[in-house]
Amino acid sequence: MSTSFLDRKIRHGFDRFDGDRDGRLTWHDHVVMGERTAAGLGHEPGSADGHRIIEAYCRIWERVHRPHDADGDGSVTRDEFAAAIIGAAGRAGAIADLAVTVFEVADADGDGRIGFPEYLAFLRGHQPDMPEEEAAEAFGHLDRDGDGAVGRAEVATAIVEYWTSTDPAAPGNWFYGRPPSALKAVAPGEPGSAV
Ligand SMILES: [Ca+2]
Ligand SMILES: [Ca+2]
Ligand SMILES: [Ca+2]
C-alpha cells in the first residue's frame, strides 16, 4: 500500500509544496511559494498584487495543510501528510478549496482562464527549476478541451485527480508537472493500485 501510485504522487505533491525543502510543511513554505509565484508573474516585492498571491498561499496553509498538523508544532511531515491525504480521499471540501485558491493564484490577470505563461509562473512558484518544455507538456494534458487555456472546471477536475486518482493515465496527474513514474509506475493491466 505504501508504494502505490497514489502514495508516490501524494509524496511528490508534498515536495512541490515544501518550498524551502526541509522535509516539513510550514507556513514559511507557503510564503516562499507565494513570493516566487508573484515574482514569476512580474509583480514587484511589496506590491498589492504580489501581496494578494502570498496571502492566497497562506490561506492554502491555513485551510488545507495546517489541519494535518496533529501535534500542533507548526509543521506537517511528509509521512503525516501522506497518511492524512490517503485517509481523507473523501474530504472533497478541502480539495475544492485548494482548487479555488490555486485558480485565484494562477489566473494572474483575472480573465477567468489560466494561459500558459500564468501556468508556467505558477509551476515555478512550486519548483523554480521547472523546464518550460515539461510545463508545456503538462499544460497540454490539463487543457482538455484544447482551447489554449486551463479553465476553472479543468483545474477543479485536475486537482481532484491529482490528489485522489489511482489511474496512472489521469490527465490531472500532470498538475504539478511530470508525475512520478507516470509510465512505469505499475505494470500494464494493474491500473494504479500496487496494494
Ligand atoms: Ca518546509
Ligand atoms: Ca488568465
Ligand atoms: Ca481549456
Residue scoring higher pLDDT (97 or 51): 51
Residue scoring higher pLDDT (112 or 92): 112
CATH code of the domain occupying 5-174 = 1.10.238.10
Q: What is the pLDDT of residues 105-130, one digit of tens each?
A: 899 888 999 999 999 999 999 999 99
What's the pTM value of the predicted model, to 2 decimals? 0.82
> How many whole angstroms from 149 Cα to the centroid of ligand 1?
31
Q: Is the pLDDT of residue 1 over 50?
A: no
Mean pLDDT in the chain? 86
Q: How confident is the model at residue 192 (pLDDT cuts 50, 70, 90)?
A: very low
What is residue 84's predicted lDDT score, i.e. its pLDDT?
80
> How many whole angstroms from 115 Cα to the centroid of ligand 2?
5
> How many whole angstroms from 30 Cα to the centroid of ligand 1?
9
> Any idea which ligand is nearest the CA of 32?
1
> How many whole angstroms from 118 Cα to the centroid of ligand 2?
7
Please report, for the chain, the start and end positions of each structural domain, with discontinuous segments joined by +: 5-174
Q: What is the pLDDT of residues 123-165, one digit of tens each?
A: 999 999 999 999 999 999 999 999 999 999 999 999 999 988 9
Residue 47 CB neighbour total at 10 angstroms: 12
The C-alpha atoms of residue 9 and residue 6 are separated, in whole angstroms, by 5
Q: Is the pLDDT of residue 69 over 60?
A: yes
Who's near 106: CB < 8 A, 6+ residues apart? 37, 114, 118, 119, 121, 122, 155
The C-alpha atoms of residue 85 and residue 74 are separated, in whole angstroms, by 18
What is residue 194's predicted lDDT score, i.e. its pLDDT?
42
Closest to 129 in 3D by CA, of 178, 86, 92: 178
> Any idea which ligand is nearest the CA of 143?
3
